[in-house]
Structure 1
Amino acid sequence: MNLVNEEITHKVFGEGNIVEHKETIITVDFNKDIKKFVYPDAFDEFLTLNNPETAQTFKAIFLKRQQEKEALEKKREDELQIQLLEQQRKDLLKNHRIHESSQIAFWLDEDKQEDIFTDWKISTGTVQSGKNKGQPNSVARLRPNSAGLLTARAADQEETERLILGLFMVDEMFSGNLGEDGIVPTHAEYKIELTEDEAKQMLFWNYYSNKTYPDRTTWNSGKFRYYDNVWTAQILQDIIALKTDEEEINHAKKFLDYFCKMNAIDPTNIPEANGSLRLS
């Protein structure tokens, strides 16, 4: 929008006339006193167009420019965040700080299963014996690449009936060897709660197996156990397949892409799940 010959009012210099308008600079004549201003920023603070119709048109153009500017800034921030995460992932791989089994499965108590999906505060439990008895359990393997499985079975159910109720990525700034409060912080975006019907189709032992005794399905005690990184990719892939809501499918796909990126896994080449139940 070219504003040459438009009359304006400046908060300090008073009435003036725009005598030149370049892409980012306008020149105003205040009765032979020539001033230059940054366009369009000056109209946000100092200048006002005197013609109401021109002012209204300019307002719409200015608003659009502001929205485009904000969108561009948001895009740049998002790209910077992606770059930071990518560098973080590369640093983790470079320094060999990603353990091949840096995922964690939690056994949820029946009385806490509802609350866990409300506040998403995951406790590691406490040490049951020895000199550290009563202290929070350490989860030293966990890093920003780690996911957590939330599993449960009823007291009268066989261990083979253990269900996956949900999963989450840990917070991108979390390091398990630095955690002292026994709480695993969850990622702001990447977490999934399964419905009751969905959970019934996601048996934990379809994915998990003990490498020494692959045919055994035992979890006698302990709040959590670690498992192989690729198993989370298999679980997410199956969740995507069983979901029917388009928005939930897209969210699970984003989750899988993020997880694979953080663990240097090719999302197009995820092996078939081979847990203990599939071996029997």
Structure 2
Amino acid sequence: MNLIDKKVTHERFGTGNIVRFNDSRIEIKFGTEKKRFVFPDVFGKHLVLHDQDAAHSLKKLIKEKESEREEEELKREEEKELQQKKQELRLEHEKLMKNHKLHPQSQMVFWCYPEERHRALSEWTVFSDEIKSGKNQGKPNKPIRLHQNSAVLLTARDSAMPEKDRRILGVYMVNEECTGRQCEDGMVPSHSVYRLPLTEQESAQMHFWKYYINEKTPDKMTWNTGKYRYFDNLWMAQILRDIVSLKSDPKEKELAQQFFGHFCKMNQIIEQEIPQPDGALMRH
């Protein structure tokens, strides 16, 4: 759009001609005097362009600029809200966990044998198994990392399946009053509300190794010994987010969303900052 030499009328300085302009400034000559203004803001309220075709193009430009400003303002507001949410999460977390240092891997994934699946999904509790050797052999194995921020992921694979096909059966938060050190009998009880079973169809879509990586052998999918292992808080957040997307029943979806929100709050995780899954299965 060429505005050079176009005639304008200013409410205070009268009629003049445009001599120079760029994306942010415009210079107009009124008689022997030149004035600079903010472009295109000066038009509309204070300055009128005589050329109708140019005025029409200018009007479109002003609308575009206004849209850009509104978008920038919206981004600033969103960033402000995000920072405020982070602060609220920090304060809430400090209140809830003031006597507990948050471990970055305080989630439990449990291998449900066939005979354990029904109890795990009906009673919502698992047994962390016995200590296999040493002076405490035979005693319950305390899952010491578990705390109020922890969730227990229930997984299984049929004996005929390869390990890469391990699927997720359900998930629950640990009991509101429970910590791993208190699990004297090795039983890990569930939260009174946050329990999410998966149907067979849903479970078939939730592959454990989509999210999980063995630190020592990141490209291999092996689970050689033990009933459970700890894993990353962010991986659990990814799983819960995907379960929310998977659920179609409105009540189940609402509970899954509440569970996800509670989990993120307890683990100081911002939903928008959760990365996409990058487990061993995604690398093959």
**Unaligned runs of at least 5 residues, structure 2:** 1-88
Amino acid at match of 1:264: Q
What is the deviation of 1:130?
Answer: 1.8
What corresponds to 1:279 in structure 2? 283
What corresponds to 2:249 in structure 1? 245
Q: Is the 8 A contact 1:152 1:163 kept in 2?
A: yes
Distance 1:102 1:89 in 2: 15
Amino acid at match of 2:281: L
What corresponds to 1:147 in structure 2? 151
For 1:153-172, what aligned pairs fall within 5 Å after superposition? 153-172=157-176
Distance 2:109 2:116 in 1: 15
What corresponds to 2:210 in structure 1? 206
| Partner deviation per Cα, 1:169-215 (whole Å, 9 max, x = no partner) | 00121111232111111000001000001000000000000123210
More deviation in 265-274 or 190-199?
Answer: 265-274
Amino acid at match of 1:146: S
What is the deviation of 1:156?
Answer: 1.2
Q: Does 1:259 align with 2:267?
A: no
Distance 2:123 2:216 in 1: 36
For 1:80-119, what aligned pairs fall within 5 Å after superposition? 89-91=93-95, 94=98, 97-119=101-123
Residue of structure 2 aligned with 1:173, choices 158, 172, 177: 177
Percent identity between the two aligned chains: 45
Q: Does 1:121 align with 2:125?
A: yes
Q: Is the 8 A contact 1:127 1:137 kept in 2?
A: yes
Q: Is the 8 A contact 2:238 2:274 kept in 1?
A: yes
Q: Does 1:220 align with 2:224?
A: yes
Distance 1:169 1:126 in 2: 22
Task: State the secondary structure of the residue aligned to 2:217.
Answer: coil
* Number of equivalences: 196
| Partner deviation per Cα, 1:61-104 (whole Å, 9 max, x = no partner) | xxxxxxxxxxxxxxxxxxxxxxxx99773156555621100000
Q: Is the 8 A contact 2:90 2:268 kept in 1?
A: no
Kindly report structure 1 stretches of 4+ aligned residues shifted beyond 4 Å.
Answer: 85-88, 91-96
What corresponds to 1:28 in structure 2? none
Task: State the secondary structure of the residue aligned to 1:186.
Answer: strand
Amino acid at match of 1:151: T
Amino acid at match of 1:205: W
Q: Is the 8 A contact 1:205 1:217 kept in 2?
A: yes
What is the deviation of 1:115?
Answer: 2.0
Q: Does 1:187 align with 2:191?
A: yes
Distance 1:86 1:270 in 2: 17
Amino acid at match of 2:251: E
Distance 1:91 1:260 in 2: 15
For 1:34-49, what aligned pairs fall within 5 Å after superposition? none
TM-score between the two structures when normalised by the length of structure 2: 0.66
**Unaligned runs of at least 5 residues, structure 1:** 1-84
Amino acid at match of 1:162: R
Amino acid at match of 1:144: Q
* Greater Rg by CA: 2
Q: Is the 8 A contact 1:92 1:98 kept in 2?
A: no
What corresponds to 1:6 in structure 2? none
